[in-house]
């Protein structure tokens, strides 16, 4: 716990972390401002769409961009430790190699949460400033909270996968590239292979991958927030996605175990 607090504080104060957070805030502001200008210049369209539209679209962007934020956080946390030979310092302090992986994973989760909460709060503030806030806005916010809770599971997979890829390659660009490929394009690759092999199990696995799971979670949020704003049932959503979520948890567990095995066997220097 002491190591986690100290390392989290160190990473929060780093220039790269602060700059990354500012970039996220600026992008959210620009996105909201462009939507606001577009709607105010076409009042007929804005009346047809309804003013909750920017809020739900912004939430959808946050939901999808959370993975990109995860890539940023992963590269910030895990790579600098190796560049600064921080692993050796930690081991000399009496911490086990396994504790390094566990702490880095928890730290990624905390940093990613800080980024996303800050971005979400700023997005809600801008919507209140531009359009005001009503009951529908509250329902959309609650729906987003429910769906994003489910989205945390594929996000956790990205975080631990980033650790594993860096432990394997030890080169930041290759590790991040491999993580992006596995998350975004592995399903497409499996579907292409299945075109020749014609095995249903391959397509079934492709549909259970974390990227597909995140897309399904996004669809649940948008389907209940476009025309008639309906409250989302967390239990029903979980049941609908139960096989995807269980498969994601399985992948997280396997990836975490492999990372622990590698970190115990591999020299950091």
Q: Is the distance from CB of 160 to CB of 105 less than 8 angstroms?
A: yes
Give the pLDDT of residue 227.
55
- Give residue limits of the domains in the chain: 2-265
- Do 56 and 222 form a contact (C-beta atoms < 8 A)? yes
> Assign residue 209 a region: left if phi > 0, alpha if psi is -120 to 50, beta otherwise?
beta
Task: Find the distance separating the first CA and the last CA of the chain, reported in whole Å.
Answer: 25
To the nearest 5 percent, what fractions of the chain are helix, strand and coil? 85, 0, 15
> Which pLDDT belongs to residue 79?
57
Report the C-alpha gap between 252 and 70 in whole angstroms.
15
> 67 φ, ψ to 5°?
-70, -40
Residue with tokens 């609908």: 240
pLDDT of residue 252: 92
What pLDDT tens digit does each residue of the chain (269 aa) get? 676 777 777 777 777 777 777 877 887 888 778 877 877 776 554 444 455 667 777 776 766 666 666 666 666 665 555 555 555 455 555 666 667 777 777 877 787 778 788 888 888 888 888 878 888 788 888 888 888 888 888 888 888 888 888 778 777 777 778 888 888 888 888 888 888 887 888 888 888 999 888 888 888 877 765 555 677 788 888 888 899 999 999 999 999 898 888 877 765 54
Task: Enter the pTM of the model.
Answer: 0.78
Give me the phi and psi of 42, to 5 degrees please.
-135, 80
Q: What is the reported pLDDT for 48? A: 47
DSSP 232: P
Report the distance separating Cα 135 and Cα 114, nearest Å: 26
Helices (H), 13-134: 15-40, 43-49, 52-83, 86-92, 97-131
pLDDT at 248: 92
Of the candidates 263, 269, 150, the one whose C-alpha atom is nearest the C-alpha of residue 210 is: 150
Alpha carbons 101 and 263: distance in angstroms, whole number: 8
Neighbours of 179 (CB within 10 A): 24
CA distances from 174 to 65, 179, 180 (A): 21, 8, 10
- How far apart are alpha carbons 191 and 188 in whole angstroms? 5
Q: What is the pLDDT of residue 31?
A: 78
Given a contact cutoff of 8 angstroms between Cβ atoms, the answer to whether 70 and 108 are in contact is: yes
Coil vs helix vs strand at 231:
coil
Residue with tokens 């080169």: 171
């Amino acid at each position: 716990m002491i190591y986690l607090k100290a390392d989290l504080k160190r990473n929060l104060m780093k220039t790269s972390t602060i700059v990354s957070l500012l970039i996220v805030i600026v992008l959210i502001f620009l996105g909201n401002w462009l939507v606001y200008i577009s709607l105010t210049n076409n009042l007929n369209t804005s009346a047809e769409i309804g003013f909750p539209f920017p809020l739900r679209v912004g939430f959808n962007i946050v939901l999808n961009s959370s993975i990109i934020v995860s890539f940023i956080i992963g590269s910030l946390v895990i790579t600098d430790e190796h560049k600064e030979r921080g692993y050796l310092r930690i081991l000399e302090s009496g911490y086990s190699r396994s504790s390094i992986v566990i702490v880095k994973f928890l730290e990624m989760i905390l940093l990613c949460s800080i980024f996303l909460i800050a971005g979400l709060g700023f997005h809600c503030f801008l919507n209140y400033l531009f359009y005001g806030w009503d009951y529908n806005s509250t329902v959309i916010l609650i729906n987003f909270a429910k769906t994003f809770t489910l989205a945390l599971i594929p996000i956790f997979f990205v975080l631990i996968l980033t650790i594993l890829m860096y432990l394997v390659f030890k080169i930041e660009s290759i590790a991040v590239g491999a993580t992006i490929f596995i998350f975004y394009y592995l399903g497409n690759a499996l579907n292409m292979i299945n075109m020749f092999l014609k095995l249903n199990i391959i397509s079934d696995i492709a549909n259970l991958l974390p990227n597909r799971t995140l897309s399904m979670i996004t669809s649940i949020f948008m389907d209940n927030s476009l025309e008639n704003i309906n409250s989302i049932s967390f239990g029903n959503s979980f049941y609908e996605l139960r096989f995807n979520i269980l498969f994601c948890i399985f992948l997280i567990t396997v990836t975490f175990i492999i990372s622990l095995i590698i970190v115990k066997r591999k020299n950091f220097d």
